[in-house]
Structure 1
Amino acid sequence: MIKKFPPIILASKSPRRQELLQLMGIDFTVVLKDVDESYPSNLSPSEIAVYISEKKVSAFDQVINDEIVITADTIVSLDGKILGKPENEDHAFEILSDLSGKRHEVITAVSLLKNHQIKSFFEVSEVFFKPINSEQIRYYISNYHPMDKAGAYGIQEWIGLVAVDKIIGSHSNIMGLPTQRLYQELCKLVD
């Protein structure tokens, strides 16, 4: 039997996160808040993701009854260096050139708010890129416009289909929401 959840608010404009929740069969409404996503410089990549996710969920001070608020933050890390969203096409080219032929980590932190209690967790997925050449990188950038994606790529797009050699961990985590873990944590909240 599928679990019935109380009203859920997804605080994310990410179409991928919205699509994943829909695919999970979860009803939700999207409510956005402006949140400063800066973070202390001494944090590890996973600590950064949790810090920002908790900042996002803390913006919801008026939650009614047993509503559940879901926020998330995804970080791409190459050798400990954070690869954020590209500033422009040249920056996207630089990021994807750095990822070519290498292994990197995608960390997504999720925060859940219910009855003034915050529960946060994160998942780490390893992604191994095959070498990709300049022409392939330019093709991807011009056809898929990855400016809104950490690490300058979407795993569900062309580059994920042709350049990703192997994944260790959750595929949906790389898309921005570790759905298996999220479902477990939501079930715990309502049991």
Structure 2
Amino acid sequence: MKPADHKFYLASKSPRRRELLRQIGVEFELLMLREASPRGPDVTEAVLPGEKPEDYVVRVTREKAEVASKVMLMRRLTPRPVLTADTTVVVDGRILGKPANEDEAMDMLRALSGRTHQVLTAATLQRDEQSWHFLQVSEVRLATLSEKTMRAYCASGEPYDKAGGYGIQGMAATFIEHIAGSYTGIMGLPLHETAQLLQQAGIPVL
């Protein structure tokens, strides 16, 4: 067991990121940011005009880390490093976020069907005034999907909390013809790069 001063906060609601961090045996606590309130979300994830996908995903993680560090101080929590991450799916330069409904999910799946797309995952670790970050890019090719298959997948409920409208670790694994890059990065947190990030900040992994 690692000493308490090697813990960090994970500012993410993603159960997949928690699962991946537990897989490598690091200790963390959750620090949840607001997504909806009378004052609005703590961090908006709107794409800026003309913003490139790789710049977008890095910017969002940095903003989340800055806000989460301030929230930690406001809540008078034990001071610790804060880890944030964000994943986006890109096809033909178009950023695909999380679909809000079946129509959006179907639109995304049609755009990805029979195509190769990119999955970009960025992470930032902030400790006091220091921060470290990375951007990891993977490529994924989906098989050609029938309308029936896509409708059935949407009916499962799986697409709606996932960038691009699918999750490689779920039923959509049957759609994947080829990947190049990081499987855990496509899930939402590339473990090789994350371990290096933690070690840069003095948090031991092994």
TM-score tier, shorter chain, comes to: over 0.9
TM-score of the superposition, structure 1-length normalised?
0.92
**Partner of residue 141, structure 1:** 154
- Matched ranges for 1:6-25 at <5 A: 6-25=6-25
- Runs of 4 or more consecutive aligned structure 1 residues displaced over 6 Å after TM superposition: 2-5
User: 1:73 & 1:41 partners in 2: Cα distance?
Assistant: 19
Aligned with 2:180 (options 160, 168, 172):
168
Aligned to 1:108: 121
Amino acid at match of 1:158: M
Letter of the 2:88 partner, please give it: I
1:3–1:187: 8 Å Cα contact kept in structure 2? Answer: no
Shift of 1:38: 2.4
Residue aligning to 2:132: 119
The alignment yields a C-alpha RMSD, in angstroms, of 1.7
Identity among equivalent positions (%) equals 39
Partner Cα separation in structure 1 for residue 2 and residue 53 of structure 2: 32
* C-alpha deviation, 1:64, in angstroms: 4.7
- Deviation, 1:144, is 3.7
Cross-structure match for 2:66: 58
**TM-score scaled by length of structure 2:** 0.86
What's the offset of the Cα at 1:58?
Answer: 0.6
Residue correspondence of structure 1 range 149-168 to structure 2 within 5 A: 149-160=162-173, 162-168=174-180
1: CA distance, partners of 2:99 / 2:47: 18
Counterpart in the other structure of 2:111: 98
User: Cα distance 1:39–1:58, how it changes in 2: closer, same or farther (>3 A)?
Assistant: farther
Of 80, 101, 108, the residue aligned with 1:88 is: 101
Q: Which runs of 5+ in 1 are unaligned?
A: none
In structure 2, the residue corresponding to 1:123 is in which secondary structure? strand
Q: Residue 130 of structure 1 aligns with which residue?
A: 143
